[in-house]
Homo-oligomer: A and B are copies of this chain.
């Protein structure tokens, strides 16, 4: 499994958790959980693949991603009532998912040989679009745009970190790791101290 494929799996699973938690807040039924979980999980990567004109969308090429998103949706469907604070859980899972989705977008754009502007855009879009669709469809204030959250700033800083590491001595896997770390630390910091 390549580094990008692993990041895609992980972000699909964790974004699906957040989608299912939002579905739980909206009191949807089982298929509503599966739908919103899948939309959130594959939305960002789908936009990335469409815009970059990749041969096949990642989850069409490998439908196991749908299985992963469905498993996350079922998990939340049966156990969400045990969570005391779903909003808080959504925010933390989302931070984790963002920290894997941004490097997943950066990695694909680097693989295809794109320049820095496109790499940064792909990192931000892959990170932000799944959650944006989730919140727009479920009529929540988009987390991506909520004030004082440094959401897009964390994604931008992560993507920029990846470029800096690559321009220095770093190989791509190290750049993606640095991207994930910077994104998560900034996002988690704004949630803890913001």
Interface residues of A (CB under 8 A from B): 26-32, 34-36, 38, 46, 50-53, 55-57, 60, 63, 66-67, 114-115, 117-118, 121, 124, 128, 132, 136-139, 141-142, 144-145, 147, 150, 152-153, 155-156
Given A32-B145, A32-B152, A132-B137, decide whether A115 and B27 contact each other with a Cβ distance below 8 A: no
Which single member of B30, B114, B136, B153 contacts A136 (CB below 8 Å)?
B136
The residue in chain B whose Cβ has the minimal distance to the Cβ of A157 is B31
| A-B pairs with lowest CB-CB distance, top 5 | A31-B152, A63-B117, A66-B117, A31-B153, A35-B152
Q: In the complex, A153→B141 CA distance in Å?
A: 27
Quote the shortest CB–CB distance from A114 to chain B (angstroms). 7
Which secondary structure dominates chain A's binding surface?
Answer: helix
**Contact with A53, one of B56, B114, B147 (Cβ below 8 angstroms):** B56
Closest to A54 in B: B53
Partner of A145, one of B26, B30, B114, B132: B26
**Complex CA–CA separation, A53 to B66 (angstroms):** 18
CB–CB B31/A121 < 8 A: no
| Contact yes or no, B60 A28, CB < 8 A | no
Could you tell me if A60 and B52 are in contact, using CB atoms closer than 8 angstroms? yes
Chain B residues with CB under 8 Å of A114's CB are: 60, 63
